[in-house]
Amino acid sequence: MAAPVAVLAAEESSSETAQILSESTPGECKRPQFGTRFLTDPRQVFQHNAWDNVEWSEEQEASAKRKVSENNQPLPQEKQEEYDSRANEFWNGFYTIHENRFFKDRHWLFTEFPELAPQCSLDNESHLEVSDSDHSQQERLQREHRSEVPSLSHTDGDIPGSLATYRILEVGCGVGNTVFPILKTNNDSGLFVYCCDFSSTAVELVKTNPEYDPGRCFAFVHDLSDVEADYPVPEGTLDVIVLIFVLSALHPDKMQASISRLARLLKPGGVMLLRDYGRYDMAQLRFKKGRCLSENFYVRGDGTRVYFFTQDEVHEMFTEAGLEKMQNLVDRRLQVNRGKQLTMYRVWIQCKYRKAPAQPLGSDGQVRGKDPPSSTIA
């Protein structure tokens, strides 16, 4: 049997933003359905709905590069400016049409990002390959979070979550498919979750959800690309910032400043978690001519935009923001439509970057582990 060919449709639709999700029950710390399923015999490709860590052949990667190159003629500048200026309108339109029926809750998050529920002990490893140093960093990070609980100053009493001991911010929360699983799974009484979205329609859907609890969550409208806009928390007070398929919606010229602004909100030892579209993902290959805005940046039929990253691009942005790498991986997954005998190659980037922990001071007022300054002899 010949190797299956990736499906290339006429144009990417909004439904391409939906992800393969686990079937874990809300509140459970459970291994997702997918994660250790590897395709060793191509003849068995239609035996399951998805395969993990699928290696691409040189021929397949070359074909993907050719496909992208064929359709990379950018739209006129005036059209690009229109999509940029009307971005809020397009995203509000998206959520007005789909409301909360489009996405499923992302319960896979707690396997890939245990920082979202550090008290929840998982029995299995992440399905992505992680080095021993990554695991030791993660364990050390969680110990630091438990032992160094930050508190907002007394002047911040009106800030939502001012009494919290563990603070998470999700940027680009949509209708709450990450927020609500966190609130269900993480039963830490000191937890407070902030969530924001560019779309006022999406934020309103979060607030009107029966599971929205103002005592544990605060949803607000925010433009990630507006680095002058204030967040509802002071700098240096967040334990975790979550970016799930949101950075790709920004204009590439605005990404670095946006990440740098977010990094300032992290406390020492805090982490930024990202999962987003990778270069040559099926969604990128499906775009036809007339949808390219700039290199690897496209507009969908509904006016929303999407960028496709490489590991190096993400690493450069996060390190430029002063963060250090804990994890930077490519997740290549083969999704299968067994009914139609179709295969779909997905490529996602998954990252964890951390703000350096604060160095403790010794009794002499010097940073521990560092030699005192040498005296000058006249």
- What is the token pair recorded at 132? 């021993």
pLDDT, tens digit (0-9, with 9 covering 90-100), for 18-76: 333 333 333 334 444 445 666 555 555 556 566 566 677 788 789 888 988 888 888 88
Q: How many Cβ atoms from other residues are within 10 Å of residue 165's Cβ? A: 16
In the prediction, which pLDDT does 130 show? Answer: 44
Bridge partner residues of 316 (DSSP): none
Q: What is the mean pLDDT of residues 313-339?
A: 89
pLDDT, tens digit (0-9, with 9 covering 90-100), for 87-101: 878 877 777 766 655
For residue 357, give the amino acid letter: P
Task: Please give the sequence-ordered ranges of beta strands (E in DSSP) within 43-87, or none if there are none.
Answer: 50-51
For residue 120, give the amino acid letter: C
Among 54-68, 133-147, 262-276, 350-364, which stretch is predicted with the lowest mean pLDDT?
133-147
The residue ranking higher by pLDDT, 179 or 363, is 179
The residue ranking higher by pLDDT, 340 or 249, is 249
Band (pLDDT 50/70/90 cuts) for residue 364 is: low
Q: For residue 269, what are the CA distances in angstroms to 162, 182, 187?
A: 19, 20, 22
Of 88, 11, 102, the C-alpha closest to 298 is: 11
- What is the token pair recorded at 304? 């929303």
In the prediction, which pLDDT does 167 show? Answer: 96
The answer to whether the CB of 357 falls within 8 A of the CB of 348 is: no
370 secondary structure, DSSP code:
S
The answer to whether the CB of 238 falls within 8 A of the CB of 167 is: yes
d(CA 362, CA 238): 25
- What is the token pair recorded at 112? 């890939």
Burial class (CB in 10 A: 0-12, 13-18, 19+), 184: middle
Burial class (CB in 10 A: 0-12, 13-18, 19+), 136: exposed
Q: Is residue 185 predicted with pLDDT exceeding 80?
A: yes
pTM: 0.76
d(CA 48, CA 44): 8
Strands 297-299, 292-294: parallel, antiparallel or unpaired by DSSP? antiparallel
